[in-house]
Amino acid sequence: MITVVKLRRYYDITTRFITDENVAMPASYPAALLRVVCCTCRFACIWALGMATGVNTQAAVVASLRPLGFIAAAVADGVMPVEIVLPDGSSPHDYALRPTDTLRLKNADLLVWVGPEMEVFLSGPASSLPAARRITLASLPSVRPLLQKGGEELHENHENDDSSGDDSHHHSEYNMHVWLSPTIARRAAEAIHDRLVELIPEKKQQVDDNLRIFNAVLTKNDKNIATMLAPVRAKGYYVFHDAYGYFETYYGLTPSGYFTINPEIQPGAQALHKIRTQLVEQKATCIFAEPQFRPAVINAVARGTSLHISTLDPLGMGISLDKESYARFLSQLTNQYVSCLEKNE
């Protein structure tokens, strides 16, 4: 009976996929073929789906964002493959799920995400997964006390009146870019470890070893990063969006500010004027854009100043998944800070 229900679900997903994606060949042929295959053998059906969609249908940890995938890949190394929902170059602030993502999420043995305040696009699919098959990082008792308050948006009507009492900010209370905190990364790794041990108790030894190696690599990397950042810690700079608070606090960097808390909302003329004044007054060295956002406002603000424009990647685009990818991600971010801030030494 269970098999029949499962077959029905796979078949529904397949036909919906063919409709949604507008597959180049006539939909009737593969749909009919898959119907026969699906009714013949469940494994053949899973194989056919995997071939048709490019989605891995074996057991997997699915991470919402690449950096969470880095942490999961270290803990699940040799135990379970890790897949990532958000494609490189996309922003978690405005992503919309594709049909292939929906299939990937339905097949997930474990979903790792920050929570609905960050990945709005996952709110529905995450809530339909059983609690045992998802880790909502921002809600973990071990993470909750470590959350930083979110930044203030640069509202035009705040420019000249700090006592206006207008507190109608439309953003979450906390900064949800938690993957940029090495401390929260360790908590996330522990949570993934505990859940994998529950799911696959026979692999406990390997998962234990993986967690130990992850923490050891992070400790070693931590010292290198602190050494690299030491000469530039006092340098002022602006970032495009308020994503880096955890990393900056952890390593004692001194940002002058950010352009926006929501990358979809660009600052207005008055806010830009204020930023430009601050940049000059504070003798800031750099403005950092992001690979996901290269807004024209950054060029406009920097024009006629000695500011350097550079890029920070908060999502680790292009970094492959393995035991040390999270450490490589933080090192890459460090290099991006240092290569700009060390100018004008």
**Residue 176 binds Zn ion, judged by CB under 5 A:** no
Q: Can you say how many angstroms the Cα of residue 154 is from the centroid of all Cα atoms in its chain?
A: 24
| Minimal distance, residue 293 CB to Zn ion, in Å | 9
| Minimal distance, residue 177 CB to Zn ion, in Å | 5
**Residue 68 binds Zn ion, judged by CB under 5 A:** no
Give the nearer residue to Zn ion in terms of CB position, either 126 or 312. Answer: 312
Cα four-point dihedral sign 74, 76, 79, 81: negative
**Strands (DSSP E) along the chain, which ranges?**
61-63, 82-84, 110-113, 134-136, 237-241, 257-260, 286-289, 308-311
Stretch that binds Zn ion, among 67-75, 121-129, 240-248, 325-333 (CB under 5 A): 240-248
Question: Looking at beta carbons, which residue is closest to Zn ion?
Answer: 243
Segments in 76-122 forming alpha helices (H): 99-107
**Residue 105 binds Zn ion, judged by CB under 5 A:** no
Give the nearer residue to Zn ion in terms of CB position, either 195 or 241. Answer: 241
Closest to 85 (Cα-Cα) out of 70, 71, 104: 104
| Minimal distance, residue 217 CB to Zn ion, in Å | 26
Cα four-point dihedral sign 95, 96, 97, 98: negative
Give the nearer residue to Zn ion in terms of CB position, either 56 or 90. Answer: 90
**Residue 243 binds Zn ion, judged by CB under 5 A:** yes
Measuring CA to CA, how many Å separate 98 from each of 105, 228, 295, 323?
A: 11, 40, 26, 28
Please give the size of the binding site for Zn ion, defined by CB under 5 A. Answer: 1
Are β-strands 257-260 and 308-311 bridged in parallel, bridged antiparallel, or unpaired? unpaired
- Cα-Cα-Cα-Cα dihedral of 291, 249, 322, 99, to 10°? -50
Give the nearer residue to Zn ion in terms of CB position, either 214 or 246. Answer: 246
Give the nearer residue to Zn ion in terms of CB position, either 243 or 284. Answer: 243
**Residue 271 binds Zn ion, judged by CB under 5 A:** no
| Minimal distance, residue 168 CB to Zn ion, in Å | 21
| Minimal distance, residue 292 CB to Zn ion, in Å | 9
User: Binding residues for Zn ion, per CB under 5 A?
Assistant: 243
